[in-house]
Structure 1
Amino acid sequence: MSIEIVGHAVVSADGRIADHLRQMPAVLRNDKDWVRFQAALDRAQLVVLGRLGHEAHPNPGRRRLVATSRVERFEPIDDLVTLWNPAGMDFRDVAAELGVTDGVVAVVGGQQVFDYFLRRFTRFDLVTVDGALLPDGVPCFSTGWPDEVLAQAGLRVVERELLDPGVRLEVWRH
């Protein structure tokens, strides 16, 4: 397989992807990042996300793989959406079943999905909103701060961009 697995996360200054209700708060939203992010998803062969994200955001016509424990292995819902249990089937097997053998797979979270793909990422786009703090929120990764976890997984920052004042993008690669 020649699949590039690209993670996409926007985090608060304290490394959180959601608030205490497991919702993405408005403080993490940025128009320039949103346009960049949507364009990246449009280019992807497949978008992988958790069930909560899938249920919270209508599918604009992209092919989605929804990680959930509510199925044993995987279960197609329609032409664009397949439910998948990472504990029941390895990603390589489900990708082969879906006919995804090359191109970009965009992984957009949540935490358990990011944790599952951590050693598989070829790239991770990390956007940080410096002024935002979510002390009771959901961390991007269960094992620590995003930059430390990504570095421990063998990725390094290859590009930095200031998207807006206080909103910065770091591109991590192997």
Structure 2
Amino acid sequence: MLARGGAMPDELKFPGDKAFFSSSLDRAALIVHGRNSYEDQPNSPRRQRLILTRQVAALALDPSNPKACLWNPAGASFEAACAFAGVDAGTAAIIGGPGVFAMFLDRYDTFWLSLAPHIRLPGGEACFPGVPERTPQQILASHGLKAGAPIPLDPAEGVTVTPWRRLPASSAGAG
């Protein structure tokens, strides 16, 4: 679970995870998220972003944020949205929510899955559609991603982040 009531609860906010997330976004050329996802950090206003919405037919400038574009995937491709946002190279950081994550399952080069094993969010919002019937790890694997070694972020709390990387086409059946 990654949220409750459309927002990340305080019990899921860990200093090491926050630092990893923030530094990753600082390296991204574009941030992609839904209307309820945001990072609320000092560098947030400087980051170019696409906000998924059904409130526009295809693409529009966000009247409240000069660094943001509104994107309706039903009306424009991701490539068209990137071009509209003025981004033609670099990393796109997909920061959620669940529907946004799911849209990119077959496109991720790497998905960074953070785990806080001692925290439970009964009734929380799952990170992907299909959870809890399947685990996030099963969903990522079913889309051709393979887990790397977990990286400790907050060892005292057991919080880790695991890179799930797309296998090269030539080795997809190997292993």
TM-score band (shorter)?
A: 0.7 to 0.9
Contact 2:49–2:85 (8 Å) recurs in 1 = no
Which one scores higher on RCO, CA 8 angstroms, separation ≥ 6? 1
**2:55 equivalent in structure 1:** 70
**1:139 equivalent in structure 2:** 126
**1:26 equivalent in structure 2:** 10
| Bigger Rg, structure 1 or 2 | 2
Cα deviations by residue, 1:40-80 (Å, 9 ceiling, x for unpaired): 101100000111124x8373311111011111111112531
Counterpart pick for 1:121 among 84, 103, 108 = 108
1:40 aligns with 2:17: no
Contact 2:68–2:85 (8 Å) recurs in 1 = no
Q: Distance in 2 between matches of 1:74 and 1:57?
A: 24
- TM-score for the superposition, normalised by structure 2: 0.84
Q: Which runs of 5+ in 1 are unaligned?
A: 1-15
Cα deviations by residue, 1:13-65 (Å, 9 ceiling, x for unpaired): xxx1101x1221111111011111111101100000111124x8373311111
**2:170 equivalent in structure 1:** none
Counterpart pick for 2:67 among 80, 83, 105 = 80
State the Cα distance separating 1:104 from its structure 2 match: 0.5
Letter matched to residue 159 of structure 1? A
Cα RMSD (Å): 1.5
Aligned-residue identity in percent? 37
State the Cα distance separating 1:146 from its structure 2 match: 1.2
SS in 2 for 1:101: coil
**2:145 equivalent in structure 1:** 155
Contact 1:159–1:172 (8 Å) recurs in 2 = no
Q: Which runs of 5+ in 2 are unaligned?
A: 167-175
Structure with higher strand content: 1
SS in 1 for 2:81: helix
Counting matched residue pairs gives: 157
Letter matched to residue 157 of structure 1? A
